[in-house]
Amino acid sequence: MKKERIVVALGGNALGNNPQEQLALVKETAKSIVALAENGYEIVIGHGNGPQVGMINLAMDYAANGSAGTPAMPFAECGAMSQGYIGYHLQQAIGDELKRRNVKREVVCLITQVLVSENDPAFTNPSKPIGMFYTKEQADKIKAEKPDQTFVEDAGRGYRRVVPSPQPVAIIERPVIEELVAKGHIVITVGGGGIPVLQKADGLHGVDAVIDKDKSCAKLAADVKADKLVILTAVEQVCINFNKPNQQALSKLNIAEAEKYIAEGHFAKGSMLPKVEACLQFVRNHKEGQAVITSLANAGNALKGGNSTVITAN
């Protein structure tokens, strides 16, 4: 019997905002992932890196501009660092949980590049929040010192730096990912949406940007013909009229219904909208697949038909 192949996109609630918090949280994340492994799924894991890459970039800028005088670190390299450190934590926690439950599978983290287009309009309209929150006064001060940086207000929580968020065109390491998954290994990949790279005449070049991790996971899921794209967030189901008296949870959506709700403005730009858009991207490109949005704790139950929002082509 063919095993179901799933691509799991982990939300920020599965990671945390600093190394200590993340190390504690991923132990809980690992329990949900290994429960899926016990059920025989072929598993690919993607994750975000907004707070982490911002933290690394800020630390590198501070060191380069301070008395230490260390070399300036390009943003793409900061993204690679975040992939490595988040992947290390996830790999360690999942590996420990596999051993604890006596599940005979291996887990590996793959530093992953994702091709983007230099003509992507995102490069003239930075929109992806990274790093810590600032007051307006703090953001204005940094902007005055570094005019190339852009800050926006983020969901009433403060101001954050934003960078371009181009669309994923191709997953460079896709053949390796497929080979590892086919052998039964759990693969952590497209961390932070993958390191964005441009194809130049002399090869690949990193670029200052952050790709939305849900959209990279959707691209990868379609490319590897996953049975399901599973986007894990803080809620079990997508809702319309969210946080209003007439809030309604959605169990199933097709492309036309999802597009209607998007047009009506039901999904917030910095929250549920990119997740629903990623699901639509997946089912458009792989019509036999299903996209599932639910919470981390509910993942196993959702894949067995429990509470979730399932998005299909028709």
Give catalytic residue positions. Answer: 12-13, 128, 213, 275
Asked whether 113 and 137 are in contact (CB, 8 A), the reply is no
Q: Is residue 117 within 8 Å of 203, Cβ to Cβ?
A: no
Contact 308, 236 (CB under 8 A): yes
The pair of three-digit structure tokens given for residue 119, joined into one six-digit string = 């003509």
Residue 36 CA neighbour count, 13 Å, CB half: 29
Phi first, then psi: give them for residue 235, nearest 5 degrees. Answer: -125, 155
Token pair, residue 263, equals 């047009």
For the chain, the maximum distance between any two Cα atoms, rounded to a whole number of angstroms, is 62
Task: From 93, 129, 115, select the one nearest 12 (Cα to Cα).
Answer: 129
Question: Which of 19, 10, 21 lies closest to 52, judged by CA?
Answer: 19
| Dihedral of alpha carbons 114, 120, 122, 124, sign | positive
Q: Which helix (H) or strand (E) holds 182?
A: helix 174-182
Nearest of 230, 187, 177, 221 to residue 95 by alpha carbon: 187
Among candidates 144, 214, 225, 212, which has minimal Cα distance to 182?
225
Both tokens of residue 311?
Answer: 């998005």
